[in-house]
Every structure is written in C-alpha cells, then in structure tokens.
Amino acid sequence: MDYEAVIGLETHVQLRTQSKMWCGCANAFGSPPNTNVCPVCLGLPGVLPVPNDEALRLTALTGLLLNCALPPRAKFDRKSYFYPDMPKNYQITQYDQPSTANGFVEFEFQGGTARVRITRAHLEEDVGKSTHFERNSGVDFNRAGVPLLEIVSEPDLTSADMAYEYLNALKEILIYGGVSDCDMEKGMVRCDVNVSVRPKGTQELGAKIEIKNMNSFSGVRKALEYEIPRQIEVLKKGGQLIQSTRRWDDVAGITEEMRTKEHAHDYRYFPDPDLMPLQPSEEWLAAVRARVVELPLARKQRFMRDYQLPAGDAEVFKNDVPLGDYFETLARQAKNPKAVANWVINNLRAKLAESGSRRESAQTPASSIWHPASEVDESGLTSAATEISLSSLKFKPESLLELVALVEAKTINSSAAQQVFAEMFDTGKSPAAIVQEKGLAQVSDAGAIEAFCNQAIAANPGPAADFKAGKAAALNFLKGQVMKLSKGKANPALAGEVLERKLKG
C-alpha cells in the first residue's frame, strides 16, 4: 500500500515593533540579560497590560497579505500553565476569536503555483528564555512580552520540500510587508511541525505527531525527511501511531518522542479581564489597508509580464527589491527592457557586490526592512547593502539606458560597452563622453574592415586554408584577429561577413 504525508505548520513570528506587546520595554535582541524588563513583562502582581497598537496593526496587515478576513471583533485570552520562564503563570494569546483567519498563501512549487490555506493568525506574547548552567538555571526576561504572531496552516502540505517552500514564501511575504525581520539567527521565526501519514487516496487524517520548536527551515525539511518514512514504516509493519509530541535532534538526525496524550492538557483558556475586546474602527482599518504591499510572487509575475523577462531575471528582482526597483525605473523608459535587465544583473550587481565587499561592512543602514548583516539568507532575500550602494552610484540611471542604446545602435560593440560601463561606474562620466574620449566607437566602415580582414588572412594562411577546407570554427579565430587588429573596435558581425565573402569567393 502507498502512503502520503499530511503536514500542517504553526509558525511563530516576532513582530517588528519598537517596544513589547504590553509595556514600553524595548523589543531588542542581544541586550544583557534582564535589562529590557519592567513589572509588566516580569509578571509582577497588580500591573495592567496596555496593547501595543503597532503590533495590532502588523497583525491585521499580515491578515490582509495572507488573504485572510479581518473579523469585526477579536479578543485576548489567558492560557494557563506553569513554567519558570513565564512568572505570571499564564500566557496572553487569542483563543476562539483571533485577530484574523481564513486565508491562503500561494507560492511556486514544482513548476506550478501551490496554495496552502491559512487557518488563522493570532497575536500572543513571547516568554522568557531559560539557560541551564552546570549547577543551576537562569531566566532572561528580555524576550518576555515580545509580540508574536502565530500563523497556523491547514494540513495542506504534502512533502518536506513543499513545507520548506511554504516557509520561505511566508517569510518573504512578512519581510516585504515589514511585519517581521524574520531573522532566523535571532530566533525570530520558530515553528511547530504537525505531520501524519495515511493510505494514498483516503480522506481521514492519521494520528498527528507534532515536532516542537524548530528554528530553521532546513531543519524542518530534514526533520520531515526523517519523520515521514518513519511513520510509514511503523504502519507497514502493522504497528499503530498515536498522537504525540517529538523533538528533532539535529546532530543525530532523528526525531524522538517527548510525550504522548497531548490533548490531555488543560490550559483553562478564558478571556483576559484586563484587556478589552478589539473592535477596529473603519479609520484604523483604512490605515492598515494603506500599508498593503505587492506580494513577492505577484511582483515576479508582473516583471515577467510587463518587461518580458525570463523567470530567472524576475526572480533576482523579487529577491533584491532595491535592485528590482532600480531596474523598473529604467525599464519603464526602455525600448528593450531585457537588455537593461542584463546590464543590471550581470554588470551592475556584480560591481556592487565587488565594491561592497571591498568596503567590508563599514556602513550599516539606519532603518531598512532589509537585514544589514545578511547578504543572502535562507529565503534568498538580499540585504540593505544594495539599497545603500544604489543610492551612492556615481553615474545617473539614464546613463545605463544610454549605454544600452549605444550598443543597440551598433555605435559600440559589446567589448567596448564593457569598458564604457567600468569607466562610468568609476567616474560617473556619460557613456557618450567616454566613447569619445577613448575612441571606442565601433568601426563599421566597409573599407576599414576590409583592410583589417585582408591583413588577418595574409598573416594567418593556415586558418584561412582550414576554413576553405570546411572547418567553420577557423572563422572565429580570424574574426578574433580582426578584432585584435582593430583594437576591439571592429563591428564583429560585419567582420565575419567580410571574411566569409573573401574566403569563399
């Protein structure tokens, strides 16, 4: 019998706010332990939480970006349990009336577009972080009370690869929307992986096994690559699976059981009496709607459609938003956007990377949704580095259009164009001025080309004879000689024609 996997993910994402969810303490990473704390986030008795409006707005914005509905009313509940990293003995979360629900995420998968339904996205607070030393343990409450969005998917995922692509797509959307920096290194995205298997073609769900607290997307993929065959193996041997919680051991590369009978938990959810239900006004909602951005997939598809770009180019401009924006301002005025894309991707991007690494990381952007530190992270999104270097380019954007036009008009050939680009990148001079100054204009004058060709043939009787004898490749060699003789300025197509005519004639 064949089995199939059924996967649903619960993804926790730290929201990009200045302060915590219920108090004014900084939402910051890397401070010394217990320095961003106050009576509210330490859970001392007698304090009152005040909701962070930006966290509420980012939650609603996420709902819109994930095609969810925003219900007219939401509320906060207390989830009771005891753990040392949570001194008030309950976590504030949203139980039966979340801020947003019933949406979907679309992403590219196996040559098509996959859709995963989103059950809900609810707001909750993060807890402290325990550290275990040799003889005792410590708790750092800097993270306690940081706003967390839990995004719950329907069990629509069917493979490890699909789960991986879903997570990357989700992360891209959240970064695009400025909802979260999604910095994995800083633990800003964590997820619980729910997975079961069932005979192919059947509808009933198998026993759900939850792998808790994964903090990397590649870890999620590896855990599923292990766990799915494990479950199938158990069933094939006639065994039974029971609902349980497991943990992923990244070193051993296995999952192991932590506990069963998860459903026996009683969290005693009840509405938090300290917090008013949320009933967003039309005005508030309008302000959130104004922050909706184009989704990554839509951007890629639009670049392919509007500028006739191949998928690879559009993907580059999806992953590097500042570079894509730069391209787009030029492409709108260009006759041949694909040629502009080639220059931006193959030349400009390479130059930026080169000069960026020379400067090391001396500069960091003051405020940007792109991570200053990471060049390319797991989702392939590039950093603020591009944005900064683009804004300090020496040449005007129009110069790049001019360069493309010079090549298209055959005023310069492609090797001269490379020289012009390098010079304009370094000095900011206009392409026309550089062509003049360096005498790079292409020679298309028939007489001059003919003279170069005669010279090349006379100096290379061997290859000339080879070509006559049918060795087509010998023509390229002779063409190369003509380019050399002309110091790179001959029109290569014309040179080829003349050579061929002379040798065949």
Q: Which of 4, 54, 85, 154 binds ligand ADP (CB under 6 A)?
A: 154
Amino acid at site 259: R
Contact present, 126 and 148 (Cβ < 8 Å): yes
Give the residue closest to ligand ADP by C-beta. 8
What does the DSSP 8-state code read for residue 490?
A: B
Backbone angles phi, psi at 226, to 5 degrees: -85, -45
Rounded Cα–Cα distance for residues 469 and 467 (Å):
5
Which among 77-85, 151-159, 353-361, 381-389 is the span making contact with ligand ADP, rule CB under 6 A? 151-159
In angstroms, the first-to-last Cα distance of the chain is: 72
Between residues 158 and 454, which has the closer beta carbon with respect to ligand ADP? 158
Kindly state whether residue 38 participates in binding Zn ion, applying the rule CB under 5 A. Answer: yes
Q: From its phi and psi, is residue 29 left (phi > 0), alpha (psi between -120 and 50) or beta?
A: beta
Using only C-alpha atoms, the chain has a radius of gyration, in whole angstroms, of 30
Kindly state whether residue 196 participates in binding ligand ADP, applying the rule CB under 6 A. Answer: yes
Rounded Cα–Cα distance for residues 260 and 494 (Å):
77
Between residues 62 and 142, which has the closer beta carbon with respect to Zn ion? 142
Q: What does the buried/exposed string (b/e) look like for 264-286 if buried means 16 or more CB atoms within 10 Å of the residue's CB?
A: eeeeeeeebeebeebebeeeeee
Rounded Cα–Cα distance for residues 441 and 406 (Å):
9
When CB distances are held under 5 to 8 angstroms depending on the partner's kind, the choice from Zn ion, ligand ADP, none that residue 378 binds is none
Largest CA distance in the chain: 101
Residues 104-143: x where in contact with ligand ADP by CB under 6 A, - otherwise, as a string:
----------------------------------------
Residues 165-194: x where in contact with ligand ADP by CB under 6 A, - otherwise, as a string:
-----------------------------x
Kindly state whether residue 258 participates in binding ligand ADP, applying the rule CB under 6 A. Answer: no
Kindly state whether residue 208 participates in binding ligand ADP, applying the rule CB under 6 A. Answer: yes
Q: Least Å distance between CB 334 and ligand ADP? A: 45
Q: Least Å distance between CB 23 and Zn ion? A: 3
Between residues 105 and 490, which has the closer beta carbon with respect to ligand ADP? 105
| Strand extents, DSSP E, 219-339 | 244-249, 254-260, 270-271
Q: Which of 21, 23, 184, 443 binds Zn ion (CB under 5 A)?
A: 23
Q: Which of 152, 214, 224, 498 binds ligand ADP (CB under 6 A)?
A: 152
Q: Least Å distance between CB 281 and ligand ADP? A: 30
**Three-class secondary structure of residue 5 per DSSP:** strand
Contact present, 261 and 209 (Cβ < 8 Å): no
Q: Which of 69, 205, 459, 493 binds ligand ADP (CB under 6 A)?
A: 205
Give the H or E element holding residue 492.
Answer: helix 492-504
Q: Which of 17, 52, 62, 153 binds ligand ADP (CB under 6 A)?
A: 153
When CB distances are held under 5 to 8 angstroms depending on the partner's kind, the choice from Zn ion, ligand ADP, none that residue 56 binds is none
Contact present, 340 and 308 (Cβ < 8 Å): no
Q: Which of 41, 86, 127, 417 binds Zn ion (CB under 5 A)?
A: 41
Kindly state whether residue 195 participates in binding ligand ADP, applying the rule CB under 6 A. Answer: yes
Helix-helix angle 431-438:414-427, to 10 degrees: 110
Rounded Cα–Cα distance for residues 416 and 360 (Å):
30
Q: Least Å distance between CB 9 and ligand ADP? A: 6
Q: Which of 3, 8, 143, 424 binds ligand ADP (CB under 6 A)?
A: 8
Q: Which of 10, 54, 85, 161 binds ligand ADP (CB under 6 A)?
A: 10
Contact present, 243 and 262 (Cβ < 8 Å): yes
Residues that bind Zn ion (CB under 5 A): 23, 25, 38, 40-41
Residues that bind ligand ADP (CB under 6 A): 6-10, 152-155, 194-196, 205-206, 208
